[in-house]
């Protein structure tokens, strides 16, 4: 019975090892992302993305596209999220289906982390090169140290062609041109195979001995010191010395072959150029805000004061990347993702032009299925139930003003 149990334990261990090995080589295809699972307050009260533009809807392999736009760093950043003092402009894509050929904030190349200021607006651009054919969801994204990835709006982009034809040539500091996609692959395979083989030999050596049950019995009977024999200690020492020797020899050979190297750059860029927005002439006070659960609609009572020289009308409410528009005032011509665009989702009780010097209290409703589809309604279950977003006002000449709003949100169920 003891021998049978030991054999069963060994077979179970080998089966587990084979399963884990197979899992390492299994890479299921991912298409979209889990931005819907990100807390609603994170998407509403951190980075507000707007004026986004995906330059192409279809890109051949080896061709490029750009993702451009602006983002506002919310002044009322939530206390539970680390401030964006160390941030990295990125894109959210399902794996290396594109390569990020370059990224810019305020016209400055940003290959490293940057420091962002609360209450400031920035312009950005990301250059992407198509690598793997398929339909991919491409998001703007900001990685914040301590706060995680803050994912912006995403759009489906189709990559055509063959991945086998993809090349990524770069010129090194010594003037040599190499293709990063295929450079030194044989060496990479060799080292992966070598360390994997060493790991298997190490596991096989210990797996040949009695496993769980006999070792447990030995420990319980006070014979734990007999489990590791003098031969085991010698084998362990040989593995340790051999590993160190392999690392030392390979490091020496690498340094001799590549004497000129540059360390990875990990500095922090400060003083990023912000957008100088016109001084706002519209003031907005949120009197109250409620979310009507059965109607999937947020209702705001706003007191709007026009301190400018020309009449203005409310045309858009933008929150968490979802845009609610009043079609009589604002239309989208940028090809914004349909699932994030409520073209008739904004209604105002009285949206006639507000004359200069005039104040008006209006009821504003932002309604669309996106509240539930993108789980923004989960905000009502948050301990700090507040909403935030951007209001865009337009005058007769098409000039636009951006006003931020931030207030408590009360749910209603009738």
* 253 and 331, same domain (yes or no): no
- Please identify, among 202, 224, 257, the residue that sits at the C-terminal boundary of a domain: 257
Partners of 170 in the β-ladder: 178
Same domain for 167 and 197, yes or no, is no
Per-residue model confidence as pLDDT tens digits over 214-232: 778 878 887 777 777 889 8
**Two structure tokens written together for 59:** 């890109």
C-alpha dihedral sign at 37, 131, 192, 30 = positive
Write down the H helix ranges in 259-369. none
Overall domain count for the chain: 3
Rounded CA separation 38/195 (Å):
38
Write down the pTM of the prediction. 0.82
pLDDT, the chain, mean: 89
| Residue 384 confidence class, pLDDT cut points 50, 70, 90 | confident
Q: What mean pLDDT comes out for the span 331-342? A: 91
| Cα dihedral: 373, 379, 380, 386 (round 10) | -140
Domain boundary among 257, 291, 315: 257
Q: Which helix (H) or strand (E) holds 240?
A: helix 230-257
* Res. 11: pLDDT tops 70: no
Domain range for residue 210? 182-257
Confidence of residue 29 (pLDDT cuts 50, 70, 90): very low
Least confident interval from 12-16, 113-117, 319-323 = 12-16
User: Residue 401: how many CA atoms within 13 Å on its side-chain side?
Assistant: 23
State the average pLDDT over residues 198-225.
82
CATH number for the domain harbouring residue 292: 2.60.40.1580
CA atoms within 13 A on the CB side of 411: 15
Question: Domain with 188 in it: what CATH number?
Answer: 1.10.287.710
Cα(118)–Cα(46) distance, integer angstroms: 9
Q: Rounded to an integer, what distance in angstroms lies between the CA atom of residue 351 and that of residue 362?
A: 8
Average pLDDT over residues 122-135: 97
């Amino acid at each position: 019975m003891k021998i049978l149990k030991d054999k069963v334990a060994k077979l179970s261990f080998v089966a587990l090892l084979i399963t884990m090995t197979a899992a390492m080589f299994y890479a299921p295809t991912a298409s979209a992302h889990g931005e819907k699972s990100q807390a609603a307050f994170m998407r509403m009260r951190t980075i507000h993305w707007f004026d986004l533009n995906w330059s192409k809807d279809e890109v051949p392999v080896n061709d490029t596209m750009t993702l451009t736009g602006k983002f506002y760093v919310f002044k009322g950043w939530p206390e539970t999220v680390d401030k964006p003092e160390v941030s990295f402009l990125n894109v959210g894509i399902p794996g290396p289906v594109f390569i990020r050929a370059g990224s810019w904030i305020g016209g400055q190349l940003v290959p490293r982390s940057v420091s962002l200021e609360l209450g400031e607006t920035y312009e950005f651009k990301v250059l992407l090169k198509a690598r793997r054919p398929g339909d991919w969801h491409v998001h703007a994204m900001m990685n914040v140290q301590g706060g995680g990835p803050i994912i912006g709006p995403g759009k489906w982009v189709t990559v055509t062609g063959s991945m086998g034809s993809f090349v990524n040539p770069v010129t090194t500091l010594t003037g040599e041109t190499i293709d990063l996609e295929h450079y030194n692959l044989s060496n990479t395979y060799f080292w992966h195979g070598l360390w994997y083989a060493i790991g298997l030999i190490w596991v096989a050596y210990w797996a040949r001995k009695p496993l769980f049950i006999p070792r447990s019995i030995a420990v319980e009977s006070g014979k734990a010191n007999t489990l590791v024999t003098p031969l085991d200690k010698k084998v362990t020492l040989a593995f340790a010395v051999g590993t160190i020797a392999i690392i030392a020899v390979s490091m020496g050979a690498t340094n001799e072959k590549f004497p000129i190297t540059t360390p990875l750059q990990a500095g922090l860029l400060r003083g990023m150029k912000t957008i100088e927005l016109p001084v706002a002439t519209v003031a907005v006070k949120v009197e109250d805000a409620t979310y009507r659960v059965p109607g999937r609609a947020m209702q705001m009572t706003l007191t709007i004061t026009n301190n400018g020289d020309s009449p203005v009308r409310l045309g858009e409410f933008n929150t968490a990347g979802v845009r609610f528009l009043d079609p009589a005032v604002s239309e989208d011509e940028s090809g914004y993702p349909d699932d994030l665009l409520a073209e008739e989702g904004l209604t105002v009780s009285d949206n006639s032009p507000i004359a200069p010097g005039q104040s008006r209290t209006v009821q504003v409703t932002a309604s669309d299925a996106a509240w539930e589809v993108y789980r923004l309604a989960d905000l009502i279950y948050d301990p700090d139930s507040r909403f935030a977003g951007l209001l865009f006002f337009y005058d007769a000449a098409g000039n636009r003003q951006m006003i931020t709003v931030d207030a408590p949100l009360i749910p209603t169920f009738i």
